[in-house]
Amino acid sequence: MLKIPVASKKLIEEEDCEIVMALGMPGPMEKDKMCAHEASTGLIRAQLMTNTHILEVFVHEDEEEDPKELKKLADNRAREHAQNLIKMMFHPKLMRKEAGKGMREGKEDVGPL
């Protein structure tokens, strides 16, 4: 997980990517959660260093007990983040309209704030 921020930064600086999706699946142990947090912090730093969006798409193994449901969650979350990426690049006004609506990637929406 801790390699994700460096890989994302390299994609931006060396491959001229305009936006990056960083996918990861942290395990269920406390150590895994700590590593995921450190990776998240690294992604934030990489964004600030490059002035480029990096969409963090993490699915924690303990979010679902049933492996089929976990696979479904991972698939839905990745797809919905990819849709957000497209909105950010090509339809930013639509993205701003959706802010604060409680829309979740991969799970049921929770409704507006």
Per-residue pLDDT tens digits for 33-79: 999 999 999 999 999 999 999 999 999 999 999 999 999 999 999 99
What's the rounded Cα separation, in Å, for the pair 76 and 80? 6
pLDDT band at 24 (very low <50, low <70, confident <90, very high): very high
**What's residue 92's pLDDT?**
85
**How many other CB atoms are there within 10 angstroms of residue 62's CB atom?**
12
The overall average pLDDT reported for the chain is 93
Determine what percent of the chain is predicted with pLDDT higher than 70: 99
Stretch 74-100: mean pLDDT, rounded? 90
> Is the distance from CB of 28 to CB of 62 less than 8 angstroms?
yes
Strand partners, 21: 55
What value does the mean pLDDT take over residues 72-94?
93
In angstroms, rounded to a whole number, what is the distance separating the alpha carbons of residues 52 and 58? 19
